[in-house]
Amino acid sequence: MELALCLGDNTNKQFSFLEKPSKINNNSSASLTSTSDKDLECCMGLDGAFSGHRSLSSSSSPSVEDEKKKKKKPAPRAMDSDEFRVSSSVDPSLQLQLHFPWLPENSRQGGRMLSEAATVAEDEDEEEDEAVPSMSVSPPNSVTSSFRLDFGIKSYGYERRSNKRDIDDEVERSASRASNEDNDDENGSTRKKLRLSKDQSAFLEDSFKEHSTLNPKQKIALAKQLNLRPRQVEVWFQNRRARTKLKQTEVDCEYLKRCCESLTEENRRLQKEVKELRTLKTSSPFYMQLPATTLTMCPSCERVATSASHPSTSVAHNIGLSTSSFHSPLIPVKPQPAKQVS
DNA sequence: TCAATCTTAGAGGTTACATCA
DNA sequence: CGTGATGTAACCTCTAAGATT
């Protein structure tokens, strides 16, 4: 069961790209509206209509998701030779158009670098695997050469593997071997943590604003642009989505807390009022026969209220009082005109 | 047509490492 | 300089969805 939150106050949404569905299945959603705080509104969907995270991500990048749905391409076999040919048919209009602030102007070419990089990746489909090591910034005397020998993924003829991730892992290990210049990782068991540069982070951030998920093309293009491995880009996006969700959850939580406090306060007030009304009812039974026109002041807040504008009216109704029976005759009430309700 | 199986992507959680106060 | 807190890259496991057999 998923708990979906639809906050009435959208103005302080931190992540505009995380648009949540505005509608929740009416069958099983409850809407709580605080009468004391009109702009405070929570909607809680308790079914799968809004299926949580996936909806979050999909709504954040509809084009990508839609594209996925539209394409319905055959599931790529692990390193199937057709993989990149298939994905190369991606609509160019869907490619990222981003700026590369830290790169020289002549290499930006009007913010279309990533698109073009994707095109490059497309053109170099056959080199995709090799692109990973080739983007390594290892010095010439590094182990890149042996890495290339290791890097026989292409040459093992797209042999079917049980899992693409096996291949990715192998790529990563190989690339890691290639980029490890300090030779402190002979056995490959310790993970090497590489801090991304500010520029790299900034660019990934920009990309994330465009699309919170990446298709393989975009991933490869990004990796090429940033001299990172595709796996690194993928991990970064995964972590970034997780951070976004965490932040949004915190915001939602805070909001719900306020919502809860407000409702609790109102509940307390209404209960008090019910108690007073009950007392009133038992202590002064004869006031029930008074004409309605004389009963315009609420005993609890001492404000004149119309039957529709004050919550007490509904409470009075619920406990069996007519809406015109707020007052005992002991309470002096001036006849109309009634005071203006604020 | 339907069920079993395979493959993939993403979420959620965790670990390990880097940085900073 | 040692230490705890924090941020985050990298990893692992599980699941849903689509494709294939």
pLDDT at A289: 54
Cα–Cα distance list, A66 to A21, A54, A62, A119, A188 (Å): 16, 13, 6, 21, 40
> Which protein residue lies nearest to nucleotide B17, measured between its Cα and the C1' atom?
A193
Task: Give the tens place of pLDDT for each residue, A109-148.
Answer: 333 334 444 444 444 443 333 333 333 333 333 323 323 3
pLDDT at A262: 94
Confidence check: pLDDT of A282 > 80: yes
Q: Strand A29-33: give its sheet, edge to edge.
A: A4-7, A41-45, A29-33
**How far, rounded to the nearest angstrom, does the alpha carbon of residue A24 sit from its chain's CA centroid?**
16
Q: Which nucleotide is nearest to A165 (CA to C1')?
A: B8
Interatomic CA distance for residues A133 and A151, integer angstroms: 8
Q: Which of A54-63, A88-97, A155-164, A226-235 has the highest mean pLDDT?
A: A226-235
> CA nearest A31: which of A21, A16, A46?
A46
Confidence check: pLDDT of A235 > 60: yes
Cα–Cα distance list, A133 to A77, A78, A130, A339 (Å): 22, 19, 6, 81
C1' of C1 to CA of A162 (Å): 50
Is any atom of strand C within 7 angstroms of residue A53's beta carbon? no
Mean pLDDT lowest for which of A76-85, A124-133, A185-194, A333-342? A76-85
pLDDT band (50, 70, 90) for residue A237: very high
Is any atom of strand B within 7 angstroms of residue A163's beta carbon? yes
pLDDT at A256: 87
Confidence check: pLDDT of A274 > 80: yes
Is any atom of strand C within 7 angstroms of residue A191's beta carbon? yes
Is any atom of strand C within 7 angstroms of residue A198's beta carbon? no
What are the DSSP calls for A104-118, one per residue? -HHHHTTT-HHHHHH
Chain A window 237-256, residues with Cβ within 7 A of nucleic strand B: 238-239, 241-242, 245
How many CA atoms are closer than 13 Å to the CA of A91, on its beta-carbon side? Answer: 9
What's the mean pLDDT in A297-317?
A: 47
Beta bridge partners of A226: none
C1' of B2 to CA of A74 (Å): 20
Do A59 and A18 form a contact (C-beta atoms < 8 A)?
yes
> Which protein residue lies nearest to nucleotide C15, measured between its Cα and the C1' atom?
A54
> Which protein residue lies nearest to nucleotide B11, measured between its Cα and the C1' atom?
A53
Do A29 and A44 form a contact (C-beta atoms < 8 A)?
yes
pLDDT at A286: 60
pLDDT at A297: 52
Residue recorded with tokens 């609890």: A300
Interatomic CA distance for residues A325 and A128, integer angstroms: 81
Helix (H) or strand (E) holding A4: strand A4-7
Position A341, amino acid? V
What's the mean pLDDT in A320-341?
A: 36
What would the two tokens of residue A64 be?
């990508």
C1' of B13 to CA of A72 (Å): 31
Does residue A192 or residue A178 have the better pLDDT? A192
Interatomic CA distance for residues A339 and A323, integer angstroms: 18
Confidence check: pLDDT of A245 > 50: yes
What would the two tokens of residue A58 be?
């999909």
What would the two tokens of residue A331 be?
């309470």
Burial zone of A153 (CB within 10 Å; 0-12 exposed, 13-18 middle, 19+ buried): buried
C1' of B11 to CA of A241 (Å): 9
pLDDT band (50, 70, 90) for residue A303: low
What would the two tokens of residue A104 be?
């020289």
Count of beta carbons in the 10 Å neighbourhood of residue A20: 20
pLDDT band (50, 70, 90) for residue A199: confident
> Would strands A4-7 and A29-33 be described as parallel, antiparallel, or unpaired?
unpaired
Is any atom of strand B within 7 angstroms of residue A86's beta carbon? no
Task: Give the tens place of pLDDT for each residue, A148-189.
Answer: 323 323 322 223 333 444 444 444 444 433 433 333 333 444
What's the mean pLDDT in A308-337?
A: 38
For A271, residues 6+ apart whose C-beta sits below 8 A from its C-beta are none
pLDDT at A216: 87
Chain A window 127-156, residues with Cβ within 7 A of nucleic strand C: none
Is any atom of strand C within 7 angstroms of residue A38's beta carbon? no
Q: Under DSSP, is residue A88 helix (H, G, I), strand (E, B) or coil?
A: coil
Nucleotides of C under 7 A from a protein CB: 8-12, 16-20
A318: phi > 0 → left, psi -120 to 50 → alpha, else beta; which?
alpha
Give chain A's length. Answer: 342
